[in-house]
Amino acid sequence: MAHLTDPKMKACVEACNQCYQMCLHEAMNHCLETGGDHVAPDHFRLMMSCAEICQTSTNFMLIRSPFSHQLCRVCAEICEACASSCEKLGMEECARTCRECAKSCREMAG
């Protein structure tokens, strides 16, 4: 990603991409296989929402959309909610990844 000259944006793209991969992977593997509260509609939808907003935020930053800062603000909010939900279920690595992404997105949002 050498073409990203803004270090803050580069870090945010990387954090969003990592969070996207983590949430999608954990939802489709860990949560589905564990069952119970891990597949409760609110938690599962939140994980999928987090994965989607992270992927979309990455895309907006890469195309230098003038709306990327606004989207990063929403992304941070969803990532924080997902982190809290994952924490309650003992999904510490996922929660940590979501919190790191939220922090980076808040910095991008300004």
**Structural domains of the chain ordered from first start:** 7-109 (1.20.1270.360)
Percentage of the residues of the chain whose pLDDT score is greater than 70: 97
Half-sphere exposure of 65 (CA within 13 A, CB side): 14
pLDDT of residue 4: 72
d(CA 99, CA 18): 11
pLDDT of residue 5: 79
d(CA 66, CA 60): 8
pLDDT of residue 12: 97
User: pLDDT (tens digit, 9 = 90+) per residue, 19-63?
Assistant: 999 999 999 999 999 999 999 999 999 999 999 999 999 999 999
For residue 105, give the nearest of 30, 12, 39 by alpha carbon: 12
CB-based contacts of 7, cutoff 8 Å, min separation 6? none
For residue 46, give the nearest of 12, 11, 72, 84 by alpha carbon: 84
CB-based contacts of 64, cutoff 8 Å, min separation 6? none
